[in-house]
Amino acid sequence: MLENNVEIKSSSELLKIVQELKNDGYRYATMICLKANDGHELIYVLDKNYVLKTLRYFVKPSEKPKSMSGIYLCALLIENEYQDLFGLTFEGLAIDFKGHLYLTPNSPKTPLA
């Protein structure tokens, strides 16, 4: 289990906590996506003074997770990556490559899904 891990139940709670952490001086390090049951698990990794905080959120099948790019602009690349590789659709992405950040129309679809 990761240190400083917080389970988040709803997307509105997730947005609220991420905004609070940003206000508290946390830097967006990355986001990890895992397959979990029929859905996906997202782990948001934030850093402050070399200490990581991880927020874990379960994305139900067919749910469209909210984009963090409105809070942390840098989230847009990793969210686009997961649209390519896992077939997720993030709502409110600042720049949406629509599944073609890395993959071309002839590439294998959602290779990590």
**Does 28 interact with another protein (rule: CB under 8 A)?**
yes
DSSP H helical segments within 1-113, as ranges? 11-23, 75-86
Where in 57-86 is the site for another protein (CB under 8 A)? Answer: 72-74, 76-78, 85
Computed on alpha carbons and rounded to an integer, the radius of gyration of the chain in Å comes to 14
The smaller minimum CB distance to another protein, of residues 10 and 48, is found at 48
Sign of the Cα torsion 76, 83, 11, 7 reads negative
Give the interface segment with another protein, choosing from 6-14, 30-38, 58-66 (CB under 8 A): 30-38
Q: Which two tokens stand for residue 51?
A: 């200490």
34, 60, 64, 109: which one binds another protein (CB under 8 A) = 34
* Residue tagged 């599944």 (tokens): 99
Strands 51-59 and 5-8: parallel
Q: How far is the CB of 80 from another protein (least distance, A)?
A: 9
Residues that bind another protein (CB under 8 A): 1-2, 27-30, 32-34, 43, 45, 50, 52, 54, 72-74, 76-78, 85, 95, 100-104, 111-112
